[in-house]
Amino acid sequence: FSCSLNEPDITVAPTDSRYRPDQRFMEDNNLEKADIAKVSLEEAQRERRKHRESVIAELRKRGDDEGAESATHRPRWFLLQDDALTGMAVHRYKGGYWEAKREQEWGEVLDLWTPPRQKQK
C-alpha cells in the first residue's frame, strides 16, 4: 500500500508534489537528474518570491496597501493560525480542496513543477 501512495494521479491538484520532476527522477534512481531538477525548482521558487516581494514593495511605495495585500501569497486551502494549546503557528484546512478535486476545477494555480525557461543572453 505505502508504495502506491506516491503514484501519479491525474485527479489531484496540479500543485501536488507527485508532479515534482526531482521526485520522479529520484524514484527512478536517477540521482544526478533529481539534484539538477531540485536546484532548478528551488531557483524558480526564489525568483517567484523575489518578484512577488518587489511587486508588493512597489505597491506599498505608491500607497496601494490594498493592492499589496491582494498580491501577498496565501495558501488556497489552508489558514495560518495560532494553535490554542501550543501557541505555535499552524496551517488549518479551510475547505475547498475535495470539491475542486471532484469538479476538476483548480482555478488559477501556479505552475510549480515546470522548470523555468533558460534566460536569453
Give me 98's grid cell: 475535495
Amino acid, res. 30: N
Give me 49's grid cell: 518570491
What is the CB-side half-sphere exposure of residue 80 using CA atoms within 13 A?
A: 5
- At 8, the pLDDT band (50, 70, 90 cuts) reads confident
pTM flag (> 0.85): no
Reply yes or no on whether the pLDDT at 116 is more than 70. no
Give me 4's grid cell: 502506491
3-state SS assignment for residue 111: coil
pLDDT in tens, 46-80: 999 999 999 999 999 999 999 999 888 888 899 99
Residues 6+ apart with CB under 8 A from 107: 76, 100
